[in-house]
Amino acid sequence: MRAHGLAAVVLLAATAGAARAEHPATLHFVRNGIELRAVDLATLKANCTVQTVTLDDPYYQRRKSFLACPLAEVLRLGFGKPVEALAGESFILRAKDGYAKPASGARLGEPGGFLAFADAEHAHGDDPGWEPIERKQLDPGPFYLVWAQPQQTDPLKYPWPYQLTTIEITSLDSLFPHLVPRGAAPGSPAQAGYEIFRSECVACHAINREGGTVGPDLNVPQSIVEYRPTEQIKAYIRDPSTFRYTNMPAHPQLSDQQLDELIAYFTAMKGLKYDPGRAP
């Protein structure tokens, strides 16, 4: 196996290059399920201020440099409006692996956001030179949303989706109506837990098969509170690495009250199961 290592690397690189040529990087702009525009990389670069940005990357865990376009210019190109006019909108940032990260228009409009399309340290010609990212060593292309200011490095507060393919304007409640704890009173623990789930969990996890697909569904066919003890669930959310090796991030910023509110939300949803895809 080792004797053929170099040949395997060359073959892999050639295959990846052929795949990129056959499927050029394209970013899709969608509003409420309807595609408004699909922008390929050449069009993107021709219509934005291409620059090299150097920043502290939370996934590579070191300084990295990227070839990128300012996010404000990207959003204007895709949606035909200045970023200030999009401040009141709700967005979903979709990756090719099923990751779906909600973000507010106000957050995306902050200075410091860039859409990276190549690794400045390794790009060569048409090859973006992406360095594998995170524990699974994934290719972060075709696009990677990064943030350049020091206060923007926390991916729990700022969206850092890699493998980005789609930027959609939509209401999360209308997109995923079966996530909503119907009947929960405003200000109740279940409603508060829903807000936490929206901001911290839905990018990777689903409820009633609605939401992210990176992690497991937490409500069907059984709710997580039906097969795991409450204290174990809260401990796992706070620091999954104490249980197993996983890509799920720790959530040390969540207070005991917030963890209790998440449990209240899961408990409320236990009685609101919706599983249309399950065979009778």
pLDDT digits (tens, 9 = 90+) for 138-178: 999 999 999 999 999 988 789 999 999 999 998 778 878 99
Q: Is the pLDDT of residue 97 over 70?
A: yes
pTM score over 0.85: no
Domain co-membership, 159 together with 48: yes
CATH of the domain at 200: 2.60.40.420
User: Is 54 strand, coil or helix?
Assistant: strand
**Same structural domain, 76 and 93:** yes
165 shares a domain with 179: no
The amino acid present at 116, given as its one-letter code, is A
Sheet holding 62-70, edge to edge: 51-57, 62-70, 113-119, 144-147
Q: Is 279 within the bounds of a domain? A: no
pLDDT, one tens digit per residue, over 212-266 is 888 899 999 999 999 999 999 999 999 999 999 887 888 998 999 999 999 999 9
- Position 188 pLDDT exceeds 50: yes
- Report the pLDDT value the prediction gives residue 148, as an integer from 0 to 100: 97
195 and 117 part of one domain = no
Whether 115 and 143 have beta carbons less than 8 Å apart is answered as: yes
Do 47 and 111 lie in one domain? The reply is yes
- Looking at the domain assignment, is residue 263 inside a domain? yes
Q: How many residues does the chain have?
A: 280
Q: Which domain holds residue 156?
A: 24-170
Would residue 14 count as lying in a domain? no
Residue 15 lies in a domain: no
* CATH, residue 42: 3.90.420.10
Q: Which two tokens stand for residue 175?
A: 């997109």
Which among 131, 155, 170 is the end of a domain?
A: 170
Last residue in a domain, options 150, 170, 190: 170
Count how many domains the chain has.
Answer: 2
Would residue 1 count as lying in a domain?
A: no
Residue 278, SS3 per DSSP: coil
Between 280 and 144, residue with greater pLDDT: 144
Give the whole-angstrom CA distance, residue 50 versus residue 250.
34
Q: How many CB atoms lie within 10 A of CB 203?
A: 24
Residue 200 forms part of a structural domain: yes
In a domain, 55, yes or no: yes
Whether residue 48 is found in the same domain as residue 164: yes
